């Protein structure tokens, strides 16, 4: 499971694949102009935190890296990159239309020639725990799949995560089945 330490996590801004409606997974696609704007709009939420992160950990994919860079323009925190927090490897589904593949994916089918749901969940668990080894709190800039994998680790239902919404994850021992309090930061 995940080390019980406070951290922040944000999904990257809108990518070209998000805009165009296809599975990008581990393909390295860039942010759209809207995605860059979303990160700029989210930046003050990070800067206004009372308990600011001490570093930023981001996926190796440019959409997460660029989001992290925009978020960090004023704070100038140390940044660390890892492929452990990259998006799900979708194999044969890379580049496929989201509306066609989505029902199969969310019904638990593993991507052909890709990473299984379990393999992805294990990788994300390693990645988050690696990030939490840094003095924190830390900010993790990643992908929607990382949020899904986090929920799956605790047998929680999938929840849609919007682009560039900052979330605070705080250990919450009062709920042993899901020992986390997750709150969006919107001011």
| Active site amino acids | 12, 87
Token pair 């009372």: residue: 50
Give the strand pairing for 166-171 and 180-185. antiparallel
- Whole-angstrom CA distances from 142 to 67, 83, 173, 174 are 9, 10, 25, 27
Q: Is it true that the peptide bond before 137 is cis, omega within 30 degrees of 0?
A: yes
Return the H-helix or E-strand segment holding 21: none
DSSP 8-state secondary structure symbol assigned to residue 154: T
Residue found under tokens 């990159």 = 81
Q: What are phi and psi of 120, to 5 degrees?
A: -65, -45
Torsion from C-alpha of 136, 137, 141, 144, nearest 10 degrees: 130
């Amino acid at each position: 499971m995940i080390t019980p330490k406070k951290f922040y996590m944000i999904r990257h801004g809108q990518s070209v694949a998000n805009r165009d409606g296809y599975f990008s997974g581990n393909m390295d696609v860039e942010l759209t102009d809207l995605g860059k704007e979303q990160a700029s709009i989210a930046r003050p939420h990070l800067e206004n935190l009372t308990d600011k992160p001490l570093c930023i950990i981001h996926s190796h994919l440019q959409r997460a890296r660029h989001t992290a860079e925009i978020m960090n323009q004023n704070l100038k925190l140390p940044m660390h990159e890892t492929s452990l927090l990259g998006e799900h490897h979708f194999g044969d589904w890379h580049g496929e239309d989201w509306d066609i593949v989505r029902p199969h994916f969310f019904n638990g089918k593993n991507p052909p020639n890709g990473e299984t749901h379990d393999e992805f969940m294990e990788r994300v668990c390693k990645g988050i725990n690696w990030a939490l080894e840094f003095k924190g709190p830390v900010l993790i800039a990643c992908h929607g799949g990382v949020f899904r994998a986090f929920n799956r680790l605790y047998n929680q239902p999938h929840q849609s995560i919007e682009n560039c919404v900052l979330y605070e994850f705080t250990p919450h021992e009062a709920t042993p089945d899901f020992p986390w309090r997750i709150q969006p930061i919107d001011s």
